[in-house]
Amino acid sequence: MTEPVYYTTMPSPVGTLTLAAREAGLVGVYFELRRHGPPTQEALAWRPDDGTAEPASRVLKTARHQLEAYFAGTLRAFDVPLAARGTAFQRAVWAELRKIPYGGRSSYGEMARRLGNSGASRAVGAANGRNPISIVVPCHRVVGADGSLTGFGGGIERKRWLLNHETRQVG
């Protein structure tokens, strides 16, 4: 039997976010309208968090508090436990995303080089697009080689808002 996933929602400056967690950690931060979300069958089995599903409820509470602090401009690095599922390559890309500093940027090509395969920028882009833990795993910090805002599952306007928010806090 699969470990249950619990969820809650929270308002944010970029719209309502759905947070999902299992016992091991956060598995998703999803925008209302997004290109990629959890597999439908999996999401249908999710359970609303009522605060009693420890430790998943604690993970959701921590994630919510950290996201609120991020949006308030007082948190730059998340430390909520993560438990996203993906291929080995996707997990490597997501780990690399977490190395991009707050307010920083990287390109798909730069990430591919850091992962040891300079020709894998498209694959990096695809894995980046499948990142289920938006904001916490900062896929919004990846831009085109020329610095342009390219692809973002939550929409370019949300990406622009997140980047501007971080730039205001840093600068």
Q: From 95, 106, 97, 109, select the one nearest 143 (Cα to Cα).
A: 106
Asked, as a colleague might, if the bond just before 55 is cis with ω within 30 of 0, I would say: yes
Structure tokens at 99: 């190395």
Token code pair at residue 109: 């090509």
Closest CA to 46 of 21, 64, 63: 21
Calpha distance 87→147 (Å, rounded): 28
Q: Which residues have a catalytic role annotated?
A: 139
Query: How far is residue 138's CA from residue 74's CA, in Å, rounded to a whole number?
Result: 16
Measured distance CA(60)–CA(66) in Å, rounded:
10
